[in-house]
């Protein structure tokens, strides 16, 4: 995939770099008696790649739709590029988006779909070839959209979002259907666009991909904010864990009990005992096992990753709200 983007032809980022790409204050959305987004507040600075994560049904797509002016919030405020979302016409031409699956004409070719969008937006048709080249669809531009694979449809959706050379690019599950090589190429594209000043917000359930692609994170659950800030700060604040694997389920349960008595949080997964602790605690865990006559098949420290951190934070939030 060719990730070269001609920055001289792109819309310039707002001159005042102190204006955040997105600012949200107390944003709330009710559907009848169901509260989908609950007084959400966060800020995303201009530039960089931000991951927007949460369990299914946590309010990610609803938040995207409010920010894009597709639905109105019940209460609260938000600003895109310094403009209130109550007046989307002031900023929407500077925003590209792919929310859920691309809604394109199945009987038209990839090129003609982009041509229709370019004409609708009064954009120069020269941008079509640029966008197709960027997502590596030039050779299939003349094929009908309904002949595309899921991954190709996703790439065409990204091409559509790039047509207006946006300052903010909002993508919901952009790597859905892509093979590993395509995912790596899309990630490289994000980094290239971010380096040129585009603010990219990516929603995905693939937490390993979010960790690899993003430098900031907004995490929500049940419509409420769990975390907002630099990803490396979140991971640095977690100790990681120490994992011990036994051959006997009774040994696993016994070792977990000893760990709890030592004052550490512990989880059991199959034959694994996972202890929330710094890597140096491996020696202590080994001593506990040795003292109890428990044979360990494996003992190792594990660095904190986004998936384990996400599970820990969302579990803590569920307990706190119950």
List the structure tokens of 221.
């659950």
Of 191, 210, 235, the one marking the end of a domain is 235
Q: Please count the structural domains in the chain.
A: 2
256 with 220, same domain: the answer is no
| Alpha-carbon separation of residue 271 from 5, 206, 237 (angstroms) | 50, 25, 27
* Position 44 confidence tier, pLDDT thresholds 50, 70, 90: very high
* Position 104 confidence tier, pLDDT thresholds 50, 70, 90: very high
In a domain, 135, yes or no: yes
**Distance between CA 290 and CA 273 in Å, rounded?**
15
217 with 131, same domain: the answer is yes
263 with 145, same domain: the answer is no
- What pLDDT shows up at residue 84? 97
199 with 243, same domain: the answer is no
112 with 148, same domain: the answer is yes
SS3 annotation, 271-316? CEEEEECCCCHHHHHHHHHHHCCCCEEEEEEECCCHHHHHHHHHHH
Using the structure block, give the residue that is written with the tokens 């939030």. Answer: 317
Structural domain harbouring 250: 239-303
168 with 231, same domain: the answer is yes
Strands 168-172 and 199-203: parallel
Could you please report the per-residue DSSP string of 40-67?
EEEEE-SSSEEEEE-STTSSHHHHHHHH
Of 185, 217, 235, the one marking the end of a domain is 235
Q: What is the pLDDT of residues 118-149, one digit of tens each?
A: 999 899 999 999 999 988 899 999 999 999 98
**Distance between CA 297 and CA 245 in Å, rounded?**
5
In a domain, 316, yes or no: no
CATH number at residue 255: 3.30.70.790
224 with 278, same domain: the answer is no
Segment 40-58 shows an average pLDDT of: 93
**Of 81, 49, 80, 87, whose CA–CA distance to 63 is shortest?**
80
In a domain, 88, yes or no: yes
- What pLDDT shows up at residue 269? 80
In a domain, 312, yes or no: no
Using the structure block, give the residue that is written with the tokens 């969302």. Answer: 314
Of 180, 200, 235, the one marking the end of a domain is 235
Could you please report the per-residue DSSP string of 143-156?
SBGGGS-HHHHHHH
88 with 109, same domain: the answer is yes
Instruction: Identify whether the C-beta of residue 170 lies closer than 8 Å to the C-beta of residue 68.
Output: yes
8-state DSSP, 87 = S
Q: What is the pLDDT of residues 215-249, one digit of tens each?
A: 999 999 999 999 999 998 888 776 677 888 888 88
Segment 150-178 shows an average pLDDT of: 90
- What pLDDT shows up at residue 1? 55
Quick check: helix, strand or coil at residue 184? helix
191 with 250, same domain: the answer is no
């Amino acid at each position: 995939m060719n990730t070269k983007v001609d920055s001289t032809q792109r819309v310039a980022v707002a001159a005042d770099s102190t204006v955040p790409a997105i600012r949200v204050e107390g944003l709330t959305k009710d559907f009848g008696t169901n509260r989908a987004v609950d007084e959400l507040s966060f800020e995303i600075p201009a530039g960089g790649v931000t991951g927007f994560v949460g369990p299914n049904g946590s309010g990610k797509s609803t938040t995207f739709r409010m920010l894009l002016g597709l639905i109105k919030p019940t209460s609260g405020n938000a600003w895109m590029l310094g403009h209130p979302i109550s007046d989307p016409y002031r900023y929407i031409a500077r925003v590209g988006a792919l929310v859920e699956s691309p809604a394109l004409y199945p009987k038209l070719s990839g090129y003609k779909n982009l041509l229709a969008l370019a004409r609708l937006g009064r954009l120069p048709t020269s941008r079509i070839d640029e966008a197709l080249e960027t997502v590596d669809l030039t050779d299939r531009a003349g094929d009908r959209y309904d002949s595309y694979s899921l991954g190709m449809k996703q790439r065409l959706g990204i091409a559509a979002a790039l047509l207006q050379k946006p300052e903010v690019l909002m993508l919901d599950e952009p790597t859905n259907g892509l093979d590993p090589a395509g995912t790596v190429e899309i990630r490289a594209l994000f980094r290239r666009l971010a380096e040129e000043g585009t603010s990219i917000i990516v929603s995905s359930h693939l937490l390993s991909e979010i960790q690899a692609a993003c430098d900031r994170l907004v995490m929500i659950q049940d419509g409420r904010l769990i975390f907002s800030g630099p990803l490396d700060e979140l991971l640095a604040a977690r100790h990681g864990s120490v994992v011990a694997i036994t051959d006997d389920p009774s040994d696993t349960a016994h070792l977990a009990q000893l760990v709890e008595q030592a004052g550490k949080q512990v989880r059991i997964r199959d034959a694994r005992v996972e202890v929330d602790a710094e890597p140096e605690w491996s020696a202590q865990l080994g001593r506990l096992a040795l003292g109890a006559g428990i044979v360990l098949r494996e003992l190792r420290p594990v660095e904190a990753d986004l998936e384990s951190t996400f599970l820990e934070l969302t579990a803590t939030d569920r307990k706190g709200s119950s």
